[in-house]
Chain A
């Protein structure tokens, strides 16, 4: 039975091969610039898969994912700079802080029907960005928190570490998505009332999926803080959430692995378009509109799915 088998072998091997390819690319091309681009792409990958786990599977779109990313990054900054703790503490603590935020926000908002969850999350991220500016004595205001210690000093080694985290997060969330729990989340996307009629406590499942999603967004936030060596309120901006959501759409929503491809594609595309100078944003937007118009289900997941089921009866 497909649903309870977990990941299929071909997809797992393909994922592993893609990770190995990404790992050796900077070694082959020996470019520090490429290491930087791929590190940021991998962090966006973590944010995208974490968004997809909750919103892609349940259909409850979170427009405030930047909140969890931001609190994860600031938790790392505070721990490291203000409290002087070693950088490795950031990883579990940023996850924990993001989970607490998800629990506090998800508990009242995920009970509501309609767009209230999306609006509440969007507003929360905006409020948090303003709070970072209002309490500038503690948060550093516009400047944010500077001089964060790197987790791993060598950039290539750090990239490999981030890539490994991305692989583990994607594997874990894909496994969860294929489990009974994932089936329930997809059923919630299908029809909430029917889920209740099947005896399922849907709010409980939605809150738990948001908490898990937030944990990995927070982890990605901490990894970003230890890569940039600073955090600023800009991380909470709506544009961060929108970028992540766009990556998920381009990769293929609800597939978990697709958004990793979406994150890589869009990050590399952004960098590749630098030659266009001031026209860069326009070309980027045109390409994005082209992709979403002609491939509304995304690129990575639908193409992979079509290739895997080639020759099979529809």
Chain B
């Protein structure tokens, strides 16, 4: 079976800084994979490269076996890859419902009743009762859910979540974690996520790719990664960075 996403020798410089070094990775359909790495490791740059927000210097990105490296960001969404941002970016001036509707106006969506579908997505993420509110009036936790609903509105097969738990409290993280798990299990959505909240991250993903200074330093199951000497070194240099026992 061919991979859903295949990244080959992807390379990126910002001036003299080599932010991504000949990056290779494969993602099978239905997987939920985490990208782990300290600040500045190149995680968000990788997302920006994959989604066409910045151009790669060299390498190849294949989605469904087709090259998407030269494609524009909006065309990549049409191929079935959607993303959220590290900092929530709602459409200021639009209601919560309108924010989701905008996601439905892209090239992949073939539904006729977009309003009904947008309301269904808002119900799914728990925002149906706030549909007519201005998006800027939402709490940060609700904005995270809105971002996910808008990404789902594009009907993706692969969802890229950039630090979905950032800025959230423990109760909100637990609820959002359950939502992501539900999307993965019930809709068979393939998910690639970056996160710093390592405890929740490790419980959510089935495989982890750890990167540092733009290159892969370890790859494996969460339990393998937490005890990997290079990951420990990259994080704090001495001991298990996660303070987390995978067998607990």
Q: Say yes or no: A4 contacts B115, CB within 8 Å.
A: yes
Q: Say yes or no: B97 contacts A1, CB within 8 Å.
A: yes
- Give the residues in chain A near B84, CB-CB below 8 Å: 197
In the bound complex, what is the Cα–Cα distance between A180 and B112 (angstroms)? 13
Interface centre among B77, B101, B107, B108 (most CB of A within 10 A): B101
User: A1-B115, A186-B94, A190-B91 are known contacts. Are A197 and B85 too (CB-CB below 8 A)?
Assistant: yes
* Cβ 8 A contact of B106, one of A183, A190, A198: A198
In the bound complex, what is the Cα–Cα distance between A184 and B103 (angstroms)? 10
Q: Say yes or no: A180 contacts B151, CB within 8 Å.
A: no
User: A191-B89, A197-B151, A200-B106 are known contacts. Are A183 and B83 too (CB-CB below 8 A)?
Assistant: no
> 1/0 per residue A164-204: CB within 8 Å of B?
00000000000000001001101101110111111111100
Q: Say yes or no: A199 contacts B94, CB within 8 Å.
A: no
Contacting A at CB under 8 A, from B168-217, are: none
Contacting A at CB under 8 A, from B108-125, are: 108, 114-115
- Give the residues in chain A near B94, CB-CB below 8 Å: 183, 186-187, 190
* Cβ 8 A contact of B103, one of A191, A198, A201: A198
Q: Say yes or no: B83 contacts A200, CB within 8 Å.
A: no
**B102 at interface, CB cutoff 8 A:** yes
- Give the residues in chain B near A228, CB-CB below 8 Å: none
* Cβ 8 A contact of A191, one of B51, B91, B105, B151: B91
- Give the residues in chain B near A191, CB-CB below 8 Å: 89-92
Q: Say yes or no: A197 contacts B92, CB within 8 Å.
A: no
The size bracket of the interface on B is 20 to 34
Contacting A at CB under 8 A, from B13-56, are: 51-53
The closest CB in chain B to the CB of A195 belongs to B102
In the bound complex, what is the Cα–Cα distance between A119 and B77 (angstroms)? 32
Q: Say yes or no: A184 contacts B105, CB within 8 Å.
A: yes
B86 to chain A, nearest CB (A): 12
B98 to chain A, nearest CB (A): 6
- Give the residues in chain B near A190, CB-CB below 8 Å: 90-94
Interface centre among A186, A194, A201, A202 (most CB of B within 10 A): A194
A residues with CB within 8 A of B: 1, 3-4, 180, 183-184, 186-187, 189-191, 193-202
B residues with CB within 8 A of A: 51-53, 72-75, 77-78, 82-85, 89-94, 97-98, 101-103, 105-108, 114-115, 150-151, 153-154
Given A186-B94, A196-B52, output 14 extra A-B contacts at Cβ < 8 Å: A1-B115, A184-B102, A186-B93, A190-B91, A190-B93, A191-B90, A196-B77, A197-B73, A197-B82, A197-B83, A198-B102, A198-B103, A199-B75, A202-B74
